Structure 1
Amino acid sequence: MFDTIRDSNPDRMSSPPLPPPAAPIRTGERAAIFPHLSLNEIYRLNETQVLKGSTSHPMDIVLDGKADHVVYIFVLDGVIERHNTRLHLASIIPDGGAGAVINGPATLLKLSKGCRWLAFQIPLSVLRNHFGLWSGQFCFHEPRFATVADFRRHAVSSLYRTINFLLLRKREGEGSPLANSYEQLLIAQLYASAPHNLCLGDRSARQPCPKQLRRAEEFIRSNLYASITVDHIAGAAGCSTRTLQRIFRHFRDATPTQILSHYRIAEAHDLIIAGRARTVTDLASSLQFSNPARFAATYRDIYGQKPSIDIRAHLRTGAQRATTL
């Protein structure tokens, strides 16, 4: 995720001496998607990670541009600046604040001298699936989390406390037999407490989802590349086609076919930003869209850009990264 690191000359700010940790901390660990960033600690769960880092001098971090992970950061000391070098936009996560970063193209982070932070890292696809299931509506768009000025006085403090608890367990040498449970808890705390744009809280969010709906959507997510019909989905859900249609209309305000199309469009977007798509025609065909033009129009309606333009942009970005390595 963090592809290049550059030292910044001017000192942006100073901080008081850091207190000694309660137990020895191994330094120099590296997360797989942070190949050039030395971290203080990493707690690996199943699909997510808890991270802890600090800087002794100002540091610029260029992200890899894959746009496939979200990192929710708590700043304990110092300041983290988020810059979009393409749009010339900047924002700050202040001392004591919290906010999210996506490893998108043209994203640059500036860490001040003496900056200390904790973070929860989650794949964008995992976050989107969980948030969509819990909210009662499918999540197409990338999440936009509002910056929290004082996380200790905010509901997101529950996520911070769980992260601290997991790092304490790691220092004490405890294993992670409950890794899946802790991971679910962290995602749920992020969903419940951090303001974001993915879920609007409609009527379905306040009602428990029936098991037929959960089974149907699990079947859909597992068969994005297969040729399936509403009858197949109803069979996997354990109900009649008419009942399935009624459940989706009530809880998703859409038909099963529309939801299947939405999931496939989101999968296409993930393939494009990962640099794994070459042409619109091949991408549409692999995801069972018989009409590439209709696929392209639906993609543009959701993501605001033609898929052909996004494909060229991400292939060019991938080629540039390969050239610099």
Structure 2
Amino acid sequence: MSVLRSVRFEANSRDAVLRNLDAVEPNWRWTLSAPPAEDCSLRFGRQYLHSSSIVTAEHSVGIGAVARRKAARVSLYFVLAGAMEIADRAARKVLSIPANHVASACESSAKRLAIEARSSWLAFHIPEPTLRRHFEELTGRPYVQEFVLPVTRFCEGDGHGLYQTLRQAEEDLSSASPEERPMLAKAYQQLALAKLFAKTPHNLAEAFGRGTLSDAPRQLLKAEAFMRENLASPITIDDLAGAAGCSPRALQRMFRTYRGDSPIGILCSYRLAAAHGAIRTGRTASITDLALSLQFSNPSRFSVLYRSAYGCSPSSALRLARDEAKMETAENDDTRS
């Protein structure tokens, strides 16, 4: 995604509002609550960070939208005025965000968005691979469940720092020169994600601060410890249940409740995180050998899973890690000479 541009528009008719929204957010099918004859206005702005973006909007008319397909993106919505409602029909859940509150939502197929008339809001859109990668690099632990920020006041307290950072990023990037933008965009993204993990209450806060992922039953924690100690060995659900001291069915239920995935799905996340660490630090010479050593019997399938988790192929990540290592070595040689 380009960091050399921003998007801003002001629309003052029904057709202009819908046309512009379709252009800037094509994964959503947009509707307006106002009749055709009623006046409509919408101010919209987007600043691109390194791989994320900050969106601001203010509108006189009620806006609705339905997601066309699943997108690997997490959005944090800060509602400044009015109110926003996000409905997930598949999960039968409705998230209501009143003014002065923030919450997160993942973009999934058929998810519905409804925003009251005379609302204004700021959104921080982050690709999930970016979120995963930064979480693992900051904590040294695998990202084994989706990020969830519950409805939280942000005008004061922990969420306020993240909001201020996003506002400052928006202001600085809007006045930056083309030469300054890439550096500022990358720095602000790193700062925003650090504040998100360290200062904002969410379901991964304990993992960030104390190395655990929620107050899970001891059987589940035993199973996860067994996973971490045996990443390079074949593991079955019966092996995990034996290590945990419970039945396979009970273990499946615990993982679904506390991790949102199956035990084998979580084991896959641990192995992908181990692979990412080995690639990032240059501790592998062959992607195929790495995949096989972590019990991915099909290297092609491993590449698909890795790309889905981290946003690029393992071979591309390895080339990038090697290039960065060469640059660091060259810089160190220049310093010594």
Aligned to 2:50: 46
Give the 3-state SS of the residue equivalent to 1:228 in structure 2.
helix
The residue type equivalent to 1:4 in the other structure is R
Give the 3-state SS of the residue equivalent to 1:5 in structure 2.
strand
1:62-102 C-alpha deviation (Å, 9 max, x unpaired): 12332301111111101010101233321211100001121
Once the two structures are superposed, the pairs formed by residues 117-128 of structure 1 within 5 Å of their partners are 117-128=121-132
Structure 1 segments, 4+ long, off by >6 Å, are 220-223, 258-261
How high is the TM-score relative to the length of structure 2? 0.54
The residue type equivalent to 1:137 in the other structure is R
How has the CA–CA distance of structure 1 residues 191 and 109 changed in structure 2, closer, same or farther, with 3 Å as cutoff? same
Once the two structures are superposed, the pairs formed by residues 178-217 of structure 1 within 5 Å of their partners are 178-198=184-204, 200-201=206-207, 205=211, 216=278
How high is the TM-score relative to the length of structure 1? 0.56
Deviation at 1:163, TM superposition (A): 1.2
The residue type equivalent to 1:120 in the other structure is F
1:19-69 C-alpha deviation (Å, 9 max, x unpaired): xxxxxxxxx9xxxxxxxxx76211112111111112211111112332301
Aligned to 2:149: 145
Deviation at 1:107, TM superposition (A): 1.0
The residue type equivalent to 1:196 in the other structure is H
Deviation at 1:119, TM superposition (A): 1.6
Once the two structures are superposed, the pairs formed by residues 1-325 of structure 1 within 5 Å of their partners are 2-8=27-33, 40-148=44-152, 150-174=153-177, 175-176=180-181, 177-198=183-204, 200-201=206-207, 205=211, 216=278, 218-219=280-281, 226-229=287-290, 257=294, 268=305, 271=308
How high is the sequence identity, in percent, across the aligned residues?
Answer: 23
Deviates more, 1:185-194 or 1:212-221: 212-221
Give the 3-state SS of the residue equivalent to 1:68 in structure 2.
strand
CA distance in structure 2 between the aligned counterparts of 1:266 and 1:151, rounded to whole angstroms: 39
Matched residue count = 214
Root mean square deviation of aligned Cα: 3.9
Structure exhibiting the larger radius of gyration computed from Cα positions: 2
Deviation at 1:196, TM superposition (A): 2.5
1:99-158 C-alpha deviation (Å, 9 max, x unpaired): 11211122111000011011211100110111122223201322121110x201221111
Say which structure is richer in strand. 2
The residue type equivalent to 1:111 in the other structure is I
Aligned to 1:323: none
How has the CA–CA distance of structure 1 residues 167 and 120 changed in structure 2, closer, same or farther, with 3 Å as cutoff? same
Give the 3-state SS of the residue equivalent to 1:116 in structure 2.
strand
CA distance in structure 2 between the aligned counterparts of 1:65 and 1:122, rounded to whole angstroms: 17
